[in-house]
Amino acid sequence: MPNKLLVALDGSDCGRRALAAAAQHAKLTGSDLVLTYVIDWSPYSFHTPEELSERHERRESEIERANAAVLQPEAAALINAGMTVQTLVRHGKIAETLVELAKELDVSQIYIGRIGESRVRSMIFGTVTAALVQTSPVPVTVVP
Amino acid sequence: MGRLFLTFIVLIAAFGNAHAGIDETINAATAPIAEWVGQVVFFKIPILGAQLPVVVLWLVVGAVFFTVYMGFINVRGFKHAISLVKGDYADPNSSGEVSHFQALATAVSGTVGIGNIGGVAVAVTVGGAGATFWLIVAGFLGMSTKFVECTLGVKYRQEFDDGHVSGGPMYYLNKGFSERGMAGFGKFMGTFYAVGIFIGALGIGNMFQSNQAYVQLNHVAGGALDGLGWLVGLILAAIVFSVIIGGIKSIARVTEKIVPFMAIFYCLFAIIVILMNANTIPQAIANIFTGAFTGEGVAGGALGAMIIGFQRAVFSNEAGIGSASIAHSAVRTEEPVTEGIVSLLEPFIDTIVICTITALVIGTAQVADPSFAGDAKGVAMTSAAFEREFSWFPLPLAFAALLFAFSTMISWSYYGLKGWTYLFGEGDTGQTIYKLLFCAFVALGCVVQLGPILDISDALVFLICVPNILGLYFLAPIVKREMNSYFRRLESGEIKKFK
């Protein structure tokens, strides 16, 4: 079975650059690509009852948007170039979810763009990429 | 939207201009209604010198029945409830859907309200320390009732084409009875419940909350707001308006976030206050137990204390009313039983933990100084008990009470709305009319005094227990079947643990 590379996309240029690096790597090593869009979400947040009742439709539209705007176009281009590509949208804390996916799909490496986060925020919570690097079971490539 | 808000402002301004003596006028007008409604709903049968309202008996018998019939699910399901809330069984493929934790948190912020602070004080004043014991017992039994109603809420909810869901007792009463060949009766029960929850939402979930928030604010302000109930009411109504009609979700979201912290903060300080009176704890606990069985100084003795305790417990945790089942219906799950199991934590948190802590704060203060509260009642009495140790406490307590009241109002506005849409359809205009009405009642709640308002809201909430519990009896075998099947599959490993 070929190696799988997990690429985290978020519609930003950074994500696109991470994908370019991953695609190059995949071509050289004959690996498959898994493109993923993680929608930041916590199962422990608080909502009004009205929001809860609308949650399902909102989730569907979030997934649809991630697929249509980011994952599908990128995947189509790569498939045209003759690569094997899988796409996946999931809700959750970004670093945590990527780690989970890496284990679940048994990937050999994670590619992620360096996400621009505000200084205050990263001072308090740390950055997503740092958290990922700390907890990932496989090598992580952070693309600036 | 802007025009709507303007109309609303004009209306409330007109209301405000006419305020001279409006408090008394409304009081005078509502008192006889309250009396009449109270007499009908709380029809009492005298037993051994105590007055037992039939409806309280109805609820307690129901709770005992469900506890036994479901094989003490309130004990058996407790541990599993916690692992469900922790997300141990959450399928990553449905990440992004409403989690068990979210459903629980939303339902809890709907029930943790002023009842936990003020209602307990009312119970202790009227029913003595012993009422606390029965309050806890009722909370424990209520866990089973809650399990049954929330399971049914999910099982029989209505899904609409656009993916949004409506659920709750009106739906399970209607569909459940229809399934058993009693379509006409089911329709009647569903409609009856929907009308009841709509009116109840204006009472317990609205007027009572805003009323107590005002009383508490006035207490902190040292009476500076006397006669200004209409003004406080208008401000509160305007805030509620901005959330439920204006769609300013951020206010609601902020409250929903602060409420759990306030609850923890409240419990923490309550425990500190109790510990500061450590030498009186044994006596306070002894009072609860002896009071429960002797009912000394309580009208109707032990039975009197019991009735008061049970009544307050239901008022606080809403088991048997069916409201939480409306909130839980929103969760998309293959297993309705899981929602039921999670929901049994609600009476536990609300009544067994928070109400008991409040009762102990008051109880220990009473032992130390029997006349600590003067003639303060409700929230003011609890506040006085805290004040003995921390002179500054009434301020944050008032803030907490205000937030509790607010989040309860937001939750109940939704419960009432579901009753309304059940009756009049899901149309937007109808929903807006309901929401305007809801805001008007927020303002009204601050104007009427505690007496008649408490009676009316109590009565209305107890009234909807009648169709709800009746439905629960009928549908209990279905719940039992689902529950047994669920636990069987859990044991065999067919239901997977993801964490």
Count of the separate structural domains present in chain B: 1
Calpha distance A70→A91 (Å, rounded): 15
Task: Confirm whether B12 is domain-assigned.
Answer: no
CB count in 10 Å sphere of residue A130: 14
Give the mean model confidence (pLDDT) for residues B108-116.
83
Tell me if B95 and A104 make a contact (CB, 8 A cut-off): no
The answer on pLDDT for B9 being more than 60 is no
Tell me if A56 and B101 make a contact (CB, 8 A cut-off): no
The answer on pLDDT for B142 being more than 90 is yes
Tell me if A48 and B256 make a contact (CB, 8 A cut-off): yes
Which range of residues forms the domain containing residue B126? 22-492
Q: What count of CB pairs under 8 Å joins A to B?
A: 91
Looking at beta carbons, which residues of chain A come within 8 Å of B163? 56-57, 60
Q: What single-letter amino acid sits at B453?
A: I
Residue ranges covered by each domain of chain A: 4-143
User: Could you report the predicted ipTM of this complex, rounded to two decimals?
Assistant: 0.85
Instruction: Give residue B252's pLDDT.
Output: 67
The values of phi and psi at residue B112, to 5°, are -70, 105
Contacts of B68 (CB under 8 A, 6+ apart): none
Nearest to A48 among B96, B329, B410 (CB): B410
User: Testing the interface with A: which of B83, B98, B255 to mutate, by most A Cβ within 10 A?
Assistant: B98
Range among B248-262, B285-299, B419-433 rated most confident: B419-433
CATH number of the domain encompassing residue B42: 1.20.1740.10
Q: What SS3 state is found at B226?
A: coil
Calpha distance A81→B280 (Å, rounded): 79
The gap between the terminal CA atoms of chain A, to the nearest Å, is 30
DSSP notation for A32-95: EEEEEEEEE--TT----HHHHHHHHHHHHHHHHHHIIIIIHHHHHHHHHTT--EEEEEEEE-HH
Give the mean model confidence (pLDDT) for residues B200-228.
82
Tell me if A43 and B249 make a contact (CB, 8 A cut-off): no
Instruction: Give residue A125's pLDDT.
Output: 60
The answer on pLDDT for B18 being more than 70 is no
Res. B274 pLDDT band, cuts 50 70 90: very high
The answer on pLDDT for B20 being more than 50 is no
Span A68-113, pLDDT tens digits: 998 999 999 999 988 899 999 999 988 899 999 999 999 999 999 8
B359 min Cα distance to partner chain A (Å): 28
Span B438-492, pLDDT tens digits: 999 898 888 776 567 667 766 777 788 899 999 999 999 999 999 999 999 999 9
> Any idea which fold A4-143 has?
Rossmann fold (3.40.50)
User: Testing the interface with B: which of A40, A45, A56, A100 to mutate, by most B Cβ within 10 A?
Assistant: A56
Task: Confirm whether B11 is domain-assigned.
Answer: no
Tell me if A46 and B95 make a contact (CB, 8 A cut-off): no
The answer to which of A53-62, B252-261, B349-358, B412-421 has the lowest mean pLDDT is B252-261
Tell me if A49 and B330 make a contact (CB, 8 A cut-off): yes
| Length of chain A as a residue count | 144
Strands B158-159 and B165-166: what pairing? antiparallel
Calpha distance B316→B357 (Å, rounded): 14
**pTM (predicted TM-score):** 0.87
Tell me if B253 and A48 make a contact (CB, 8 A cut-off): yes
Res. B22 pLDDT band, cuts 50 70 90: low
In contact, B255 and B90? CB cutoff 8 Å: no
| Average pLDDT, rounded, for chain B | 85
Both tokens of B333, joined, read: 């799950």
Calpha distance B355→B135 (Å, rounded): 8
Helix B378-387 and helix B356-368, axial crossing angle in degrees, nearest 10: 60
Q: What single-letter amino acid sits at B316?
A: S
Nearest CA in chain A to B252: A48
Contacts of B203 (CB under 8 A, 6+ apart): B453, B456, B457, B460, B461
B150-161 burial: b if 16+ Cβ within 10 Å, else e? bbbbbbbbbeee
Burial status of residue B392 (CB atoms within 10 A of its CB: 0-12, 13-18, 19 or more): exposed
A44 min Cα distance to partner chain B (Å): 6
Span B152-196, pLDDT tens digits: 999 999 988 877 788 999 999 999 999 989 999 999 999 999 988
Tell me if B101 and A100 make a contact (CB, 8 A cut-off): no
Contacts of B82 (CB under 8 A, 6+ apart): B345
Both tokens of A25, joined, read: 């790597």
